């Protein structure tokens, strides 16, 4: 059996996605690999196929129990012998699994990094031919990553303990250049083949909204997406509780997840979401890493996360099957202050010296500022994300709220000079609220107390909306001509670069909203009416079969596979096997039922 036959037989695909074949060839050839692939691009196949073809055992190091359970369940459904070892197993089941592992019953074993240092596990590993170690969520090894876990630093030591060094593959969805360097260094990869397929997820629609009422806007968004599965991310446990209670009160089938719940409740709530008993999950960032739920069609951030790495990872849990999906962020200025408070009051990392700890703190504040600018920009949101991760992007992607709203680059040099001059004349001791009031000529008590109604800049932007003036100040901050101090009462101050604008030596341009074109109607899947009817019938059949097998619906077939079945309408098993996502094992297990449903539908029509 070769790699292409394994792909077809076990996974039901006839061709590899971008980067997959290069990674598989490298691992099969004994080369270490460092791979950056966006969520949903097929990272797991890159080490699962080598695991099938290499002679020994593959260890998959994964940070979360939920990831292991999902991956192992899917592998077993595909006819691949796999298991996991973690704290969720009873002593009896753990011991039996360890014994089966020693007896060669599995091709893949999933373990948490903490497991690598236990004597019993090490003793068994010392006896086995381990051909490959796959490190999932490899960014966790770096203190510059968003999910640093000290246990990941022990992976290299574990590898050195083994009688023979296996080939190592490191995989992650989000990593800056600094994190990628750390991955190669701290995992002690040997001349790794480095593959970065790109961070873009073309099927995801990105949007930022600044609603007057987040609760009302959230209810409206969910009402428009009834019967669809999605995640609502909140910044704090308290907000999770409030939002989940609101949704339940409005009759929305939602559940919750955060670190303050008991392990049993978290497990039950996660299962309710995975099995679509409650299609909406309200959660903190404690939920989601490694959740392989393919039919998540939207991710709504009720609050702004603290950095773009976290945001992109969380948003990327939508549309894993390649179907169109939405990532909507509801922004409020309070989110910035809450995130800053959390950064300032986080417990110091005992593994870092004071200088490094200070560098991490300053880095976190800088990443928070860039996350805030994402929420404020008038530029293409996809382009902003891609530039952040070091990739080039088009000026407009056509699939984000900025592009949909419409904007044009305008010369705003005069207005910028007026705003910068106002900040100076106010003594550089006030925040944006005061500057906006002075520029707009608003008669407030604070303006009068400070005598600012006598300033030459008072009223220069009279008649302009607050949002327009704030947009100008935000653009000056984003382009580095203004900076905002830290603390409870941040104030605006000029940077040295502002002089070039004030003296007329440099032109200031920014994007301003223009009348948008009539938006194109976006469809969920591109199926015609008849196909949509069949798709719904196949979804109901899938739910019934999944219930009988006690597995999540997407483990039977993903929505993407159901869409192709609905469009192609295969009549024979051979035609069924040509559909992406239908492997031999699944065809044998579920094919007859789906073919009968398709035939019945065709006869009725």
Q: In whole angstroms, what is the distance from residue 417 CA to residue 504 CA?
A: 8
- Residue 290 pLDDT level (bands cut at 50, 70, 90): low
3-state secondary structure of 150: helix
Can you give the pLDDT at residue 254? 96
283 Cβ contact list (under 8 Å, min separation 6): 231, 232, 233, 234, 240, 256, 257, 258
Can you give the pLDDT at residue 524? 43
DSSP-derived letter for residue 17 is P
Q: What is the mean pLDDT of residues 524-546?
A: 75
Task: Look up the CATH superfamily of 3-196.
Answer: P-loop containing nucleotide triphosphate hydrolases (3.40.50.300)
Q: How many CB atoms lie within 10 A of CB 104?
A: 12
**Residues counted in the chain:** 605
Give the model confidence (pLDDT) of 390-401 as tens digits: 888 887 888 999
**What DSSP letter does each residue of 405-424 carry, written as one string?**
H-EEEEE-HHHHHHHHHHHH
527, two tokens: 């199926």
Contact indicator for 63, 141 with CB cutoff of 8 Å: no
Indicate the average pLDDT of the chain: 88
What is the phi/psi pair of residue 283, to 5°? -155, 160
Residue 517 has pLDDT above 60, yes or no: no
Q: In whole angstroms, what is the distance from residue 470 CA to residue 426 CA?
A: 17
Residue that wins the pLDDT comparison between 51 and 350 = 51
Give the model confidence (pLDDT) of 131-182 as tens digits: 999 999 898 888 776 677 888 988 999 999 999 999 999 998 877 788 889 9
Q: Which of 287-296, 302-311, 522-531, 577-586 has the lowest mean pLDDT?
A: 522-531
Q: Which one is the CATH code of 529-604: 3.40.50.2300, 1.10.150.80, 1.10.287.3510, 3.65.10.10?
A: 1.10.150.80
Residue 518 has pLDDT above 50, yes or no: no
Q: Which one is the CATH code of 407-513: 1.10.260.40, 3.90.1300.10, 1.10.10.10, 1.10.420.10?
A: 1.10.10.10
Can you give the pLDDT at residue 527? 46
Contact indicator for 330, 302 with CB cutoff of 8 Å: yes
Give the model confidence (pLDDT) of 62-96 as tens digits: 887 767 877 888 889 889 999 999 888 889 999 99
The domains spanning 204-405 and 529-604 adopt the same CATH topology: no
Q: In whole angstroms, what is the distance from residue 598 CA to residue 434 CA?
A: 66
The answer as to CATH 3.30.470.20 being correct for domain 204-405 is no
Q: What is the mean pLDDT of residues 287-298?
A: 77
Classify each residue of 125-140 as buried b or exposed e, where b means 16 or more C-beta atoms within 10 Å of its C-beta: beebebbbbbbbbbbb
Token look-up 């999770």 returns 240
Q: What is the mean pLDDT of residues 272-301?
A: 86
Percent of the chain whose predicted confidence (pLDDT) is above 90: 53
3-state secondary structure of 113: helix
Question: Alpha carbon of 457 to those of 166, 311, 420, 441, 510: distances in Å?
Answer: 69, 39, 10, 9, 21
Structural domain boundaries in the chain: 3-196, 204-405, 407-513, 529-604
Give the model confidence (pLDDT) of 224-268 as tens digits: 998 899 999 999 999 999 999 999 999 999 999 998 999 899 889
Q: What is the mean pLDDT of residues 210-233?
A: 93
- Residue 522 pLDDT level (bands cut at 50, 70, 90): very low
Q: In whole angstroms, what is the distance from residue 576 CA to residue 24 CA?
A: 26
Residue 590 has pLDDT above 50, yes or no: yes
Give the model confidence (pLDDT) of 559-579 as tens digits: 888 888 998 898 888 888 888
């Amino acid at each position: 059996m070769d790699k292409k036959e394994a792909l077809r037989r076990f996974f039901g695909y006839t061709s590899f996605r971008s980067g997959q074949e290069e990674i598989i060839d490298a691992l099969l050839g004994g080369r270490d690999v460092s791979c950056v692939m966006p969520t949903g691009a097929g990272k797991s196949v890159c080490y699962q196929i080598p695991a099938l073809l290499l002679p020994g055992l593959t260890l998959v190091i994964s940070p979360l129990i939920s990831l292991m359970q999902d991956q192992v369940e899917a592998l077993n459904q595909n006819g691949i012998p796999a298991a996991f070892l973690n704290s969720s197993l009873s002593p009896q089941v753990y011991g039996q699994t360890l014994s089966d592992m020693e007896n060669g019953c599995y091709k893949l074993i999933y373990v948490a990094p903490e497991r690598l240092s236990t004597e019993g596990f090490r003793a068994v590993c010392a006896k086995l031919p381990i051909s490959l170690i796959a490190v999932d969520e490899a960014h966790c090894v770096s203190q510059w990553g968003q999910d640093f876990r000290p246990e990941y630093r022990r992976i290299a030591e574990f590898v050195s303990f083994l009688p023979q060094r296996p080939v190592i593959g490191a995989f992650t969805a989000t990593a800056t250049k600094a994190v990628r360097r750390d991955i190669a260094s701290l995992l002690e990869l040997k001349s790794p083949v480095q593959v970065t397929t790109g961070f873009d997820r073309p099927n995801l629609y990105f949007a930022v909204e600044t609603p007057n009422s987040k609760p009302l806007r959230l209810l409206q968004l969910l009402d428009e997406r009834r019967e669809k599965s999605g995640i609502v991310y909140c910044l704090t446990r308290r907000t999770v509780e409030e939002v989940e209670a609101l949704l339940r009160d409005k009759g929305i089938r939602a559940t919750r997840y955060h670190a303050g719940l008991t392990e049993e409740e978290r497990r039950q709530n996660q299962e309710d979401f995975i099995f679509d008993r409650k299609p909406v999950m309200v959660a903190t960032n404690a939920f989601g890493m490694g959740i392989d739920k393919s039919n998540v069609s939207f991710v709504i951030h009720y609050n702004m996360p603290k950095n773009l790495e976290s945001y992109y990872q969380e948003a990327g849990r939508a549309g894993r099957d390649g179907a169109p999906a939405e990532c909507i962020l509801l922004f409020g200025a309070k989110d910035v202050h809450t995130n800053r408070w959390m950064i300032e009051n986080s417990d110091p990392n005992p593994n870092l010296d004071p200088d490094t700890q200070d560098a991490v703190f300053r880095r976190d504040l800088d990443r928070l500022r860039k996350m805030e600018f994402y929420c404020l920009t008038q530029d293409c949101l996809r382009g902003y994300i891609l530039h952040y991760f070091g990739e080039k992007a088009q000026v407009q992607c056509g699939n984000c709220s900025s592009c949909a709203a419409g904007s044009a680059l305008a010369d705003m040099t005069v207005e910028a000079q007026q705003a910068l001059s106002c900040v100076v004349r106010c003594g550089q001791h006030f925040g944006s609220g005061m500057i906006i009031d002075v520029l707009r000529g608003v008669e407030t008590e604070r303006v009068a107390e400070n005598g600012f109604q006598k300033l030459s800049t008072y009223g220069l932007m009279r008649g302009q909306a607050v949002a327009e003036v704030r947009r100008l100040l935000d653009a000056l901050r984003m382009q580095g001509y203004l900076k905002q101090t830290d603390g409870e009462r941040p104030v605006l101050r000029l940077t040295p670069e502002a002089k070039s604008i004030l003296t007329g030596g440099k032109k200031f341009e920014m994007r301003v909203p223009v009348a948008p074109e009539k938006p194109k109607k976006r469809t969920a899947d591109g199926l015609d009416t008849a196909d949509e009817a069949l798709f719904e019938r196949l979804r109901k059949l899938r739910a019934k079969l999944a219930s009988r097998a006690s597995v999540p619906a997407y483990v039977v077939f993903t929505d993407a596979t159901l869409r192709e079945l609905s469009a192609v309408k295969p009549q024979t098993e051979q035609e069924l096997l040509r559909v992406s996502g239908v492997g031999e094992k699944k065809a044998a297990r579920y094919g007859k039922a789906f073919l009968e449903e398709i035939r019945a539908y065709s006869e009725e029509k």
